[in-house]
Amino acid sequence: RGLPRLRTLPPVCQGVAIAPFRAAAEAIHWEVTELGPERLGEFDRSRFPRIEIADTTNAAGSAS
């Protein structure tokens, strides 16, 4: 449910680095889909992305 919402956000939103989070979430979604319900337990949960604060010190006029 979250991927469609992430896809509508800019690369940085309210100080959060969305782009790397979105890329990781899409990769995980693909992998979990490939595993299917029978093999879902094989997914390495340590791969879940962490939310990162964006470095906006050099990004004049960036959306935040």
Per-domain boundaries in the chain: 2-47
Please, which contacts does 57-62 make with residues 24 or more away whose CB atoms are closer than 8 Å? 59/12, 62/12
pLDDT for residue 58 is more than 70: no
Sign of CA dihedral 40, 42, 47, 51: positive
Q: Write down the pTM of the prediction.
A: 0.73
Residues 2-55 have pLDDT tens digits of 899 999 999 999 999 999 999 999 999 999 999 999 999 999 899 898 888 988
